[in-house]
Structure 1
Amino acid sequence: MNFRARGVFTLILGSFFVSGIAGLVYQVVWTRYLALFLGHTSYAVIAVLAAFMGGLALGNAWLGAKADRVTRPLLFYAGLELGISAFAAIFPAYYDLVHQAFLAVVRGLQPTGILRLSLQFIFAGLTILVPTVLMGATLPALTRFVTRSLAELRGKVAALYAINSSGAVLGVVLAEWWWIPSLGLHLTLFIGAALSFAVGLVALILSRRVEALGDGVAPATVTSEPAEQFTPRQLRLAVVAIGVSGFVAMLYEVAWTRLLALALGSSTHAYSLMLATFISGIAVGGWLVYRWKRQAHTLAAFAVAELVLAFTLFVSLWFYDLLPWWFVKLAALLARSDPAYFLYEWLQAAVCFGVMFVPAVCLGTTLPLVSRV
């Protein structure tokens, strides 16, 4: 890769890092909004997670396919980020409209039980569906821009995935422990919108200077090691395997949220700590795959990651019941003071990392590994 192309790729990575910050700022803020809407934090977590991942999947399948066909994918990416920014800026007003529409439906139908809860989830999902669909196409668009061959795709997806996840961790920390306490939900949301706007503007300028001239990120230097070849049966198996892995990842994220709530509580603060831990593991897993340069045994590495995941989850079943008891015992050793609360926060973080981090690292390797197939 020449010096100019390396500089463009570095700028793309930096922009995607900032995009990751903004994305998780939105998720933390939306969880706070929907906790008010649904009346229960754990329901808000599930609603945001379902709508967030559903929107990402829809955006990846629909707009991601369009990104593969456009002649200027970086310009397409700029449009996505600017669209996310615009929606974030108007979100408070849009949320009020959706809330009022929900109240009108409830007054008209007077639903109870599961019907009322279903309506709450549907309207909650509608509040964040549009931006998550746009977010779902950002990785395919950038991947399309920075790659010119399958060999490049195998290396750069892991880099983009890891850098975006790293920014996401920082976004959770900034939103939950700094911006929301000091600035409130609205200003925090507007900061996220400003970050998305800045990323979109950088991508727009870069597109005019690079894509308009018919240039791009030059192909990487080809390594002497030949790329691994796969049979059609192996390709189909990989698609099914990553689908099952995604299902398991979301299953365990929800399960961990409910289980750790017994020790840490069910507040949005505790959820953000769990979310930061989970995405930290995802980021580390992505970086491990990026640093692993071998072009062989990809499916074997995927299988090892899944087996280690299963083993760690099986072992953890033995002490889940003891977690609340041990946490209360350790927390009781701390005095009721401001410095002690800081230690209490670290104790909560230690519990989260002890339970979630290694399995999350295993999960973080799966998508980058399958992208090599």
Structure 2
Amino acid sequence: MGSPSAPLPLARLVGIGLVVFLANAALLVLQLVASRLLAPFIGSDLYTWTGIIGVFLAGIALGNAYGGRIADKYPHPRTLVGLLMGGALAALWMAVFPVLLAASGAHTSIPLGPRIPILAAILCLPAGFVLSLLTPVSIKLGLPDVSSTGRVSGLIFALSTLGCLIGNYVTGFYLVPMFTINSLVYVAAGLLAGTAVASWVVLQLDPPRENEPAPQEPGADAPGSPPTTNLAAFADIRHAYAIVFLASFCGMALELAASRYIARHHGVSLFSWTGVIGVMLAGTCVGNFVGGIIADRVNRPGSGWNPRMVLGGLLVLAGGLTILILVTRPILERGEAFATDGLVTQIVMWSFVLFFAPMAVLGTISPQVIRLAVPDAAHVGRVAGRVYAWSTTGAIAGTFATGYVLISGLGTDRTIIVATAVLALVSLTVAPVWKDNTLLYLLSIVLGGVTGGVILTWGEGTAEPNTVVQRDSNYYLIRVTTKLEPLAAGDEPDPVLEGDPDTAGYKVLHNLNLDHLLHSTVDVRRPTYIYYKHEEIQIEFLRAARKGNDAPRTLLIGGGGYTLPRAAMKLVPGTRMDVVEIDPEVTNVAYEFLGLKKHEHHRDVNMDGRQFVAEVAEKGSYELVIQDAVNDLSVPSHLMTKEYNDAVKRALKPDGAFLLTIIDSVEHGKVWRAAMATLEKTFKHVHLLASSEPPAAERPADPKAAAEYDERFAYWSAGRQVYVIYASDKPLDLAGLKAATEAVVPRPPAYWPTAKAAALGPAAMTVPEVPFFTRQVAPSVLEPFLAKEPGVILTDQYAPIDNLMAEVFRRRNQ
């Protein structure tokens, strides 16, 4: 079944392994910064991310496929050196291309749909392709003979995954807040060039083996040598490709499902993404290493193992661990697992408990398939490259299929069930696992879990009591739930609750939850109902805009529950409002369940807000631009930069205003400081507004009053709340806002008396005063915080928003 094992060349493996580790770390840095480099030209949404990730994976697949040929033809350290230098040049191209694009404006002539893959391919494909040529070359250089194929390929894959893991963490947590985006590109290019120089010096000390036998056709034996044909090998190499393709497909489905599960309970942030990706990469890394050891041991002559049966058994085990996620998750939820730990610990532990084991088992598949597919050492580069290429192609298919179809069409739980079923079916094509009693028992449990999961989730319409609808979109888990609230003065009784003495005096409200965040609370029957008070500030600015124009134009970025558009159509008649919401399913839910109606003055647009402002919005056309696109601890960085603010200003009329909604803590937060400092680079007047009363501008002289002031000041500044930042070339006119509010007709129907009250006489017809909500936080109140730590200027090259939110994130739930 193979020639006797040659000792592994440890010194050479250490050097080659370090090259692979550093090259993949650099590749991950480039992948993370690619979205920031392209955001000004294609926005930052699902299509952008999938386009960039898809192009990088395509480059990796092509690089591995073609790199196998290079490895077999040029198995020399000089090949590594040349590829590393080529990777450094490809990295530098990523800094040059956006500059050329901005200078020429060529991207504006391409429609946004095709523009995303075209620009992503031009920017990312060279680096992905060149750096991926290294993997099969490294395996070839580190392989003493075919009997070590599993260990060597598993080690190289493990080190490449570890490089990605370290690159992910170091870039996200340390490099992004320290360097501009172009500087990170230069760091990656320098790392590759430095590795090339070191490889030239060090690896030259261990020259390639001389007088190697000439390459043979796969399956042929060298004359006079022991047979090298693997009796357990696949009869058709395409079978091997199919196995790794489907295993990687399921692995990517698990990764996307993991991100959705974590978002439901812990929100979306830098920490949630890095936690999930880190655990998945760690599982893959361990699996690659262990899988290589397993592959070589079970393929030894006289080992007593059937390698195909071992591979099939591990696929069944991966399926069993995958379906177990559906059992483990409710246990974690109901038991409030890790609830006393910090949020970062919770994210990592949830990800580890649910997904580490299945990813680790899936990681063992590729090294075993390569070991079964490699006929001799002469062809290891080509076979390993092609197997890894097909594995990457499976990851590409898994990314697009899961992101665009499975999660939005089936839901996250059913996506897990589909992945389990695929793994079980693949195992049946690898070996007759039903002939082994243990594997047959495990397979029966897996298939039973799939059947039970289908039965339990089929036709599932609600996840919790009072749930009206639950849908997985390409961006969120969207849930609409109901709750009761006492009737306000003048509210008509809710027909749904009539006749029930327990609900007399109440009305039904609908909550829109995006992942775990309560995003909006809507009164379907009363469009003027506003739950979040910062929207009252927005309404007051709409009223002021209408004083000078009977039909003011307003742009709202972030639709959410569409409470502001519904209220505006009633409270500020004549307002023309364009609403840009990135998730079309959120808009659909608003129309179906949240009382949103078509209106001639209301236009819906489903696209990235930056692309709308930069390319769709007419210059000088809006009296007011309102940005309400925050989602708990996730703030779109490309909507916070100076370049974006400049684009907003071009869309505004000369005396127009920009209202930016943020959620932050004045004492501990850094986002409000950065946002105000950045806006001051574009607009003459920038002020922080609050809907609740902020501390007075001056501290009282009386000791008792001063002590009360200090206590209230400390409580107010430490709390995390919603603020609105006013930015305009026109001074803030609070008196004009208040006058505009006092001049309006009281809002119907909440403040109008019922017909029954009207019959009671003039006393019942008294209309309450319309409250005024906009309050400016005095500069003197903010001054000590800004003196201690001024805000950084956010640009397209430097916008570490997630890092700026880190302190607030760490303090949450602690």
- Report the TM-score when normalising by structure 2: 0.39
Residues 265, 197 of structure 1: CA spacing in aligned structure 2 closer, same or farther, 3 A cutoff?
farther
The alpha carbon displacement at 1:345 in A equals: 1.6
2:49 corresponding residue in structure 1: 45
Give 1:296-307 correspondences, 5 Å limit: 296-307=305-316
Correspondence list, 1:1-373, <5 A: 5-34=9-38, 37-40=41-44, 42-70=46-74, 72-98=75-101, 104-106=106-108, 108=109, 111=111, 116-211=112-207, 214=210, 229-233=231-235, 235-292=237-294, 293-295=297-299, 296-318=305-327, 343-373=342-372
| AA in 2 matched with 1:257 | S
Cα distance between partner residues in 2 of 1:369 and 1:7: 24
Counterpart CA distance in 2 for 1:100 and 1:321 is: 53
Instruction: Give yes or no for contact 2:41–2:107 (8 Å, CA) kept in 1.
Output: no
- What CA distance in whole angstroms lies between the structure 2 residues aligned with 1:6 and 1:190? 32
Distance 1:362 1:118, change over 3 A: farther
How many Å separate the matches in 1 of 2:256 and 2:30?
19
**Kept in 1: contact 2:35–2:44 (CA 8 A):** no
Query: Contact (CA 8 Å) 1:46, 1:254: kept in 2 or not?
Result: no
User: TM-score, length-normalised on structure 1?
Assistant: 0.80
Q: Are 2:232 and 2:306, in contact at CA under 8 Å, matched by a contact in 1?
A: no
Name the CA shift for 1:41/1:33 in 2 (closer, same or farther; >3 Å): farther
Q: Which has the higher helix share?
A: 1
CA distance in 2, matches of 1:35, 1:270: 21
Take 1:228 and 1:46, find their aligned partners in 2: how far apart are those partners?
Answer: 39
Question: How many angstroms does 1:131 deviate by?
Answer: 0.7
Aligned partner of residue 372 in structure 1, secondary structure: helix
User: Does the CA contact (< 8 Å) of 1:277 and 1:352 recur in 2?
Assistant: yes
Distance in 1 separating the partners of 2:261 and 2:123 = 27
- Identify, as 1 or 2, the structure richer in strand: 2
Report the alpha carbon displacement of residue 282 of structure 1 after superposing the two structures with TM: 0.6
Distance 2:51 2:333 in 1: 26
- Asked if 1 retains the 8 angstrom alpha-carbon contact of 2:232 and 2:307, the reply is no
- 1:95 partner amino acid: P
Moved more, 206-215 or 126-135: 206-215
State the AA in 1 paired with 2:308.
Answer: L
AA at the equivalent of 2:272: A
| C-alpha distance in structure 2 between counterparts of 1:178 and 1:46, whole Å | 25
Question: How many angstroms apart in 2 are the aligned matches of 1:252 and 1:185?
Answer: 30
| Letter matched to residue 353 of structure 2 | G
**Conservation of the 8 A alpha-carbon contact between 1:263 and 1:323:** no
- Contact 1:274/1:352, CA 8 A, preserved across alignment: yes
How far residue 212 of structure 1 moved from its aligned partner, in angstroms, is 7.2
AA matched with 1:229 = L
**Partner SS state of residue 207, structure 2:** helix
1:18 aligned partner, one-letter code? L
The residue number in structure 2 matching 1:221 is none
Higher relative contact order (CA 8 A, sep 6+): 1
Could you tell me how far 1:280 is from its partner in structure 2? Answer: 0.6
Change (3 A) 1:263 1:104: farther
Report the RMSD for the aligned CA atoms in angstroms.
3.3
Distance in 1 (alpha carbons) for counterparts of 2:135 and 2:369: 15
* Residues 128, 160 of structure 1: alpha-carbon distance in 2 compared, 3 angstrom cutoff: same
Label 1:286 to 1:63 Cα distance change in 2 as closer, same or farther (>3 A): closer
Alignment-mate amino acid for residue 76 of structure 1: T
Whether the 8 Å CA contact 1:59–1:133 is kept in 2: the answer is yes
- Name the aligned partner's letter for residue 144 of structure 1: K
Deviations 1:247-274 (A, max 9, x none): 2223333343344333343445532332
- Measure how far apart 1:98 and its partner are: 4.6
Question: What's the CA shift for 1:346?
Answer: 1.8
The separation in 1 between residues aligned to 2:313 and 2:125, in whole angstroms, is 35
How far did 1:119 drift?
2.5
| 1-structure distance, mates of 2:97, 2:107 | 17
Give the aligned residue type for 1:366. I
CA contact (8 A) 1:42 1:266 kept: no
Give the drift of 1:51. 1.3
Q: Residue 62 and residue 231 in structure 1: after superposition, are their counterparts in 2 closer, same or farther (change >3 A)? A: closer
Distance change in 2, residues 1:358/1:213 (3 Å): closer
Contact 1:85 1:192 in 2 (8 A): yes
Relative to structure 1, is the Cα distance of residues 67 and 234 closer, same or farther in structure 2, using a 3 angstrom cutoff? closer
Larger C-alpha radius of gyration, 1 or 2?
Answer: 2
Choose 227-236 or 316-325, whichever is displaced more: 316-325
Q: Which moved more, 1:90-99 or 1:34-43?
A: 34-43
Give the aligned residue type for 1:367. S
**Which segments of 5 or more consecutive residues in structure 1 lack a partner in the other structure?**
217-225, 335-342
Aligned match of 1:337: none
Identity of aligned residues (%): 19
Give the length in aligned residue pairs.
346
1:228 Cα deviation after fit: 5.1
**CA positional deviation for 1:35:** 5.0
